[in-house]
Structure formats: C-alpha cells, structure tokens
Structure 1
Amino acid sequence: MGKKKDLSAAEKSEIVQCLGRGMKTLDISRKLKRDHRTIKTFVADSVHRRVRADKGTLRKISARSMNRIKRAAAKIPLHSSKQIFEAAGASGVPRTSRCRVLKSLATVHRLSIWPPLTNAHKQKRLHWAKKYMKTNFQTVLFTAECCATLDGPEGCGWLVDGHPVPTRLQCQQGCGEVMFWAGIMGRELVGPFRVPEGVKITSAKYVEFLTDHFLPWYRNYAFCNKIIFMHDNAPSHAAKNTSASMAAMGIKGAKVMVWPPSSPDLNPIENLWSILKQKIYEGGRQFTSKQQLWEAIVTSCKQIEAQTVQKLTSSMDARLVKLLSNKGSYVKM
C-alpha cells in the first residue's frame, strides 16, 4: 500500500483555524476526511519535538571532538553554538545537533526572563489567537524597537557548567547605546530606522518618527491597503494621540492588530533581534562609537536573507497552535 500524501499547507491552515474554534482533533479529521492519527501527529509535532529514535545518544561526535568543543566553549563563553563549533574546527554541523551536544556540556545564559503571566493575561492571549486565527500573517507588518550597546549583548549565549559569567569591558562614560526601529512582513525587512539620540519615546515622538520614516515607505508600497500594522502595548503605542494620528495616516480599524499584553513570544521580530545581534557582535566584537555601532547594525540587516525573514513570519501558525495547546502560556520558538 502506497504512502498517503502529507498534509497540504491549506489543510494545515484549516487545522489551526479549527483548533482556534475549539474543535477536537477527531472532528477535524472527519471534516478534512483525513486519518485521525494524521491530524493528531500534526498537532503534537507543532507543540512537542519528536522523540529521537536513538533516545538522544550522541552520534558522529568522537570523544576527541567533544573535548575540543568543550575547550572552545570555555575559551569563548556566551557565544552561539555555531561560533563555538567553528572555533573547535567542527563547522558544518546542523544547529539541532550543535545544541544537543552543547546541552551535555553547558547551559544557555539568556538575556532576560519574561514576566510571569496572570490568568487574565492568558485569557487575553487566547482571545487574540482565536480572533486572528484566519488572518493571513504574510500581510502583517510586525514592528518593534530594539536597543544595541557598544559593549555587546548582556551575557547571552552558551556557558560551560560551573564557569562564572565573564565581565565585559565597559565604556568609560557609561554604556553607550543605539535605539532603532524595524519591521518584518512576508520576506521583507523594513528598516532599520535609527531613533534620534537622547529622545524619550513619547506618543508625540513616536508619531513623529512614524511620519518621518515609516509613512514614506508605507505610501510607496504597492499593496499598502492590505497591510495589517502590528505594534505592542508600550505606552507610546497605546496612547490615544498615537491611535488618532495613525488613523489620519489611513492606518485604523482592522488595519491595526490588537496585541495581547505581555506577549513578546508571539512577535517573530523578537527572534530577528537575536539573529541580528549575533551578526553585530560576532567574534566578541565591541564598538568605540555609536556611529560605528549604527553602521554595523545597517550592514548586518542587509546580510539577513529574505528566506530568514520568511521563516520567521511563517512561524505564526505554529505559534498559535502552541499557544492554544499551552492554554495561553508562553510559547518557545
């Protein structure tokens, strides 16, 4: 008996929408006329990683290579798995294999921890997921501000177990930083646009920034009438003055996505910041001036491929499935 066809993109999208309406996997299988096990497997794979057939046994990594990797991780702490493996002379290893190996030697020291979610937060996140379940997320412009510092990210990367977090060299006049704004939609990276130095992002300044930088791009975009604008609930974004000013620009009603509180995990541009900072600070690079850092930001953004942006924006269906399965709790992508 031949193998049946895999679920199509349309079928997967329909499954996500049905889950958002509260349908059970058995009812979904009947509606799509597909085997119930196929539907359950898709939902499970969207939430959990598949269990390895070898139960996690490290393969194709000799003891000698493991020692080299461990020495490299100790020598260059708080670096990415790719940088550690390249330093150990083991380039070309897939990311999943690199992380699986490093988990036996080190832990990830993360930049920050998301605040705990209340039941009210979870309910609002679930309501958001159900509201936008049928949305074509390739037409959503995900935006956010990001801050980069002269002395590098604040300790984010792999750290060998038992080793202290190294102290980074700080600027004599305090840690200089560059604030910038960007957006992603489909395969496109919009920006980056630098926020003027010393400017506090109030509603008036945010509107002025959008008028000067975003609005020219928006008006020149061929399908601007189909764009859904997304920004988070920062005070400058949620202010009545901001909403009124954006409405005057033609960005109002259904063209503005209502964003749930405490939900950075749902915004794919947050993953872009991690990719971008790896490029900016590659090799432990630090900067001596804000202009030098800004030039590195612009150069690194140009190096991000359209396929990378597409992968991030295409992850929204999986994020919604995980969010519904986790009953509103944080999702990891």
Structure 2
Amino acid sequence: MSWTPEERFFMVKFYFLCGESASAAQKRFGTHFKIKKKENLPTIQTISSWVNALETKFSLLDANEDRTGRPKTARSSENINVVEDMVTDDPNISMRELAASTSMSKSTVHRIVRLDLGLFPYKIQVHQPLTDSSIVRRFNFANEMLTMIEDGTIDINKIIFTDECHFHLQGYVNKQNWRHWGSEKPDFSRIKPLHPQRVTVFAGIHAGGIIGPYCFPESVTGEKYHSLLVNKVLPAMYDKEIVSGYWWMQDGAPPHRVQSVIDLLDQNFYGRVIALGYPERYGRGMAWPPYSPDLNPMDFFAWGYTKDKVYRSEKHSLDSLHTAIKNVFSQISTETCAKVIENFEKRLRHVVASEGKNFENLIH
C-alpha cells in the first residue's frame, strides 16, 4: 500500500505527540483522514518502520522515492479524474467495481474517493410508505411506550420481539452493498423488490438471548402459527423462565391476528402483549403500530445480520439452508442482544422527534 509523504509525516508527528504510542497515532490518523476500517490504516509495523527511517536516515521517503524527479503515485491527477468521472456517472458503484474498471488497487481507489474527492458512503435505506393514520399511530405508540419505560410500567429488557422472515436458496439483496457516494447525503431510498420465497423462519430476540429459530417448510397460516407457539415456542420459553413478567411483541401479519392466537397470548401473558388487535379484544396491552419494522429489533438487526452470514456461501438444499440459519442464530451473543434491545428505546425517541415518520435515513 502506498502512502504519501504528508501522510507519513502526520503519522510520525502524532506518534511522538502521543507519547511514542503507535496505536494512539493510528487512531488519530484514522480520525483525521476519516478512515474507519482498521485494515485500511497503516499497520503498527509500518508506523515503526517510518519512525526508524526518520531516526536513522532522517527521511520518510521510500528508497525508490528518495531521488530527484517527479515521484510516482497511483493517486495522480489523471487517475483522480478517471475515478471522479466514474463515480459521477454511477454514484452507487462499489469500490470493487471501481478498482476492477480502473486497474487500480481497492485501497488506492478508496483513498482517491475519500481523501482526494472528499466523498462519503451513504447507506441507502429501505422502508415502507406510511399513510397519515400510520404516522399518527407510530407517534402515539412511541410516546406511550416511552412513558411506560420512564415510569417503570414496562422493562424493555423483558420484551420478547418476534417476527418471521423469508429465506430463499438463490439470490438475495445485500443491503450492506447499497451505497451512494457523494459529498452530501442523498434524499432517496431504494425500493425493496419482491422475490419468490422458499422457506419462512420464525424467531424472537430479547435482552437475554434468542428464541428459535423455527422454520416453516411452507407458507405460514394462522393454524400453523398457533401450532408453533403451542408445541415449540411457549414450552421453550417456560423452560427458560421467560414468560412470567415478560411482554410478547408481534406485528400485524394476518396469521398473528387470528382469534386462537390472540386468545393463546392472553392466556400466557395476560395483558403483557403488544400486538395489533389485542387491546380491542381484551382492553389491555398495546397495539403494535403498522409499517414499523424500523422499531422491531428482528427487522432492524437480526434478519439483516443472519442473511449476511447465511448467504456468504451458496446453499444447494433446504437442509443446508436450515442448518446455516440455525448456526448463525446460535452465534449471536447475549451481549449483542442486550445492545440491540437498548437501541429500541433510542429508536422510539427518533420516532417522536420525526413526528411518526420514517427516520432511518436520518441516523445512518
């Protein structure tokens, strides 16, 4: 990896200013040049070699640079112009595509985009359109929930957030690759397409860990959902002693709203239910607001995390897909779950601040 004399001087300067600490200087370098990934920073060994070169040779130049004439660099004006033209033509282009198209290394392209062009990678958000009534319901729900949290009526560490998600064998949308390079944050979202689904997975998350996952071989119906809760989910929860004093959350999907499911939840949680249709029948609990995956930890964390892991290698059968899904969920630590649940309260405050509207484009 090539580093300019200015970058080397900055690093060595802060090496001494930070009490001859290479790691501290490395952090200052990353902050100054806005390089977030540690693998894109000069290594500790590289920093040590620069310091040694300065102390022994009184120079920060490499041997092939320490001569007269114009120094060679991949970040030439010509290369910078080429990269700028490509990013202008396609702001959603990836670093890998840029590197392949320009025959430059990925690190060189990244430094041109970040340091020479001053552009930033903005993550494109996916969200559902909100109706006026759903905006009001989201706003009211967030206010009510925050009030209950503050007065101790509800403990967010004792909420079981649940959801279903489709996994398929071929093709998926990797939202981690959705980036728009620009000097200003774009005011748009990419539409989420529909794909044929092959298996449906049910799972839950709370501050103490994961529930499931459980796979449906076919589409989910109210009868199948009720059977899953009775035969697998609730017995496992009772074994872990996470029913008494805990709240159950589910969204407004049709299988969740059948009468047998609503009755079953009341029998086991008695009022500690956050679900569409539940308060209307029993006069207690809370209704989950529509179009609010940005509030459900299963949506804003778990599904994206597991799919990124599951689809890193191609799956050739449903059995291998099931196994991969279970393995990834089993690797999610209790500490991670606790941090994710903390984020729920922060997101409630974002809903209030945005008056019920979508807010994820404001926090990423």
Please report the TM-score for the alignment, with normalisation by the length of structure 1: 0.63
In the alignment, the residues of structure 2 paired with residue 103 and residue 194 of structure 1 have an alpha-carbon distance, to the nearest angstrom, of 46
Q: 2:310 aligns with which of 265, 269, 280?
A: 280
Match of 1:12 in 2: none
1:295 Cα offset (Å): 0.7
1:194 Cα offset (Å): 1.2
- Indicate whether 1:181 and 2:194 are aligned: no
- Asked if 1 retains the 8 angstrom alpha-carbon contact of 2:266 and 2:273, the reply is no
Distance 1:70 1:245, change over 3 A: closer
Match of 1:132 in 2: 145
- Asked if 2 retains the 8 angstrom alpha-carbon contact of 1:109 and 1:155, the reply is no
Partner letter of residue 141 of structure 1? Answer: I
Task: Please tell me whether Structure 1 or Structure 2 has the larger radius of gyration of its CA atoms.
Answer: 2
Partner letter of residue 127 of structure 1? Answer: N
- Indicate whether 1:120 and 2:133 are aligned: yes
Secondary structure of the corresponding residue to residue 350 of structure 2: helix
Q: 2:356 aligns with which of 311, 314, 328?
A: 328
Secondary structure of the corresponding residue to residue 177 of structure 2: strand
Partner letter of residue 201 of structure 1? Answer: V
In the alignment, the residues of structure 2 paired with residue 231 and residue 103 of structure 1 have an alpha-carbon distance, to the nearest angstrom, of 43
Task: Kindly report which structure 2 residues correspond to 1:294-305, keeping only aligned pairs within 5 A, or say none.
Answer: 294-305=322-333
In the alignment, the residues of structure 1 paired with residue 338 and residue 226 of structure 2 have an alpha-carbon distance, to the nearest angstrom, of 28
In the alignment, the residues of structure 1 paired with residue 266 and residue 180 of structure 2 have an alpha-carbon distance, to the nearest angstrom, of 52
In the alignment, the residues of structure 2 paired with residue 155 and residue 331 of structure 1 have an alpha-carbon distance, to the nearest angstrom, of 21
Q: 1:261 aligns with which of 282, 286, 290?
A: 290
- Indicate whether 1:318 and 2:346 are aligned: yes
- Indicate whether 1:208 and 2:227 are aligned: yes
Secondary structure of the corresponding residue to residue 312 of structure 1: helix
- Indicate whether 1:247 and 2:266 are aligned: yes
Q: 1:104 aligns with which of 108, 119, 122?
A: 119
Distance 1:211 1:325, change over 3 A: same
In the alignment, the residues of structure 2 paired with residue 301 and residue 233 of structure 1 have an alpha-carbon distance, to the nearest angstrom, of 24
Q: 1:290 aligns with which of 304, 318, 326?
A: 318
In the alignment, the residues of structure 1 paired with residue 114 and residue 107 of structure 2 have an alpha-carbon distance, to the nearest angstrom, of 17
Distance 1:118 1:288, change over 3 A: same
1:161 Cα offset (Å): 6.6
- Asked if 1 retains the 8 angstrom alpha-carbon contact of 2:162 and 2:202, the reply is yes
**Structure 1, residues 235-276: CA drift from partner, whole Å, max 9, x if none?**
11122232123333x233234442011111111111211111
Please report the TM-score for the alignment, with normalisation by the length of structure 2: 0.58
1:57 Cα offset (Å): 7.3
In the alignment, the residues of structure 1 paired with residue 340 and residue 98 of structure 2 have an alpha-carbon distance, to the nearest angstrom, of 31
Q: How many residues align?
A: 243
Partner letter of residue 179 of structure 1? Answer: T
In the alignment, the residues of structure 2 paired with residue 321 and residue 201 of structure 1 have an alpha-carbon distance, to the nearest angstrom, of 33
Which is worse superposed, 101-110 or 129-138?
101-110
Match of 1:25 in 2: none
Partner letter of residue 266 of structure 1? Answer: L
Secondary structure of the corresponding residue to residue 309 of structure 1: helix
Distance 1:235 1:75, change over 3 A: farther
- Asked if 2 retains the 8 angstrom alpha-carbon contact of 1:70 and 1:105, the reply is no
Match of 1:149 in 2: 168
Secondary structure of the corresponding residue to residue 157 of structure 1: helix
- Asked if 1 retains the 8 angstrom alpha-carbon contact of 2:138 and 2:290, the reply is yes
